[in-house]
Structure 1
C-alpha cells in the first residue's frame, strides 16, 4: 500500500512514533526550551488522550 505508512505496522506503534516525533519538535523550539516538563504518562492514559 502506502510506502511511508507501511513502516508503522499497527496503530499502537504509529501513535507511539507520532508522540516521540511531536515531543522532539516541541523540545527543539527555542520558545519552549527549559520551560516545559513533559509528564510521564502511563500507556493506558496516553491511549485515552489520543483517542479523544
Structure 2
C-alpha cells in the first residue's frame, strides 16, 4: 500500500496523496516503545 501511494504521489504531485502516504507510513512503523524493546532484547547475551 505504501509503494502504491508513493508512486501515485510521485506521478501526480498531489499533496493529499503525500499526506496519506505519511499517515500510512506512521501506522506501519512500530512505535518508539516497541523499537526500544526490540533493541534491548537484541542486546541480551545468549547462554
Q: TM-score, normalised by structure 1?
A: 0.34
Who wins on radius of gyration, i.e. which is larger?
2
Q: TM-score, normalised by structure 2?
A: 0.37
**Higher helix proportion, which one?**
2
Larger RCO (alpha carbons 8 Å, 6+ apart): 2
